[in-house]
Structure 1
Amino acid sequence: MLKTAILVSAMGAGLMVATVASAADAALGQKTFETTCVACHGAKGVSVVPIYPNLAGQKEQYLVEQLKAFHDGTRVNPIMQPMAAALSDADIANVAAYLSSLKPE
Structure 2
Amino acid sequence: MRIVLTAVLVLLASQSAFAAKPARLGLCAACHGETGIAQIPGAPHLAGQKADYLREALRQYRDGRRKAPIMQAAIGPVSESDLDELARWYSEQAPVKAQP
One fold, TM greater than 0.5?
Answer: yes
Matched, 1:47 2:38: yes
Deviation of the 1:27 alpha carbon: 2.1
Superposition misfits of 4+ residues, deviation over 6 angstroms: none
In the alignment, the residues of structure 2 paired with residue 104 and residue 59 of structure 1 have an alpha-carbon distance, to the nearest angstrom, of 11
Of 5, 20, 36, the residue aligned with 1:27 is 20
Matched, 1:89 2:73: no
In the alignment, the residues of structure 2 paired with residue 63 and residue 94 of structure 1 have an alpha-carbon distance, to the nearest angstrom, of 10
Q: Report the residue type matching 1:100 in the other structure.
A: S
Contact 1:46–1:54 (8 Å) recurs in 2: yes
Q: Secondary structure at the match of 1:104?
A: coil
Contact 1:56–1:101 (8 Å) recurs in 2: yes
Matched, 1:75 2:69: no
TM-score (norm 2): 0.71
Contact 1:72–1:85 (8 Å) recurs in 2: no
- How many residue pairs align between the two structures? 78
Q: Report the residue type matching 1:87 in the other structure.
A: V
Q: Report the residue type matching 2:73 in the other structure.
A: P
Contact 2:50–2:91 (8 Å) recurs in 1: yes
Structure number with the bigger relative contact order (C-alpha 8 A, sep ≥ 6) is 1
Unaligned runs of 5+ in 2: 1-18
Matched, 1:64 2:70: no
Give per-residue Cα distances to partners, 1:18-62, cap 9 Å, x unaligned. Answer: xxxxxxxx5252x421x2211111231101322100000000000
TM-score (norm 1): 0.68
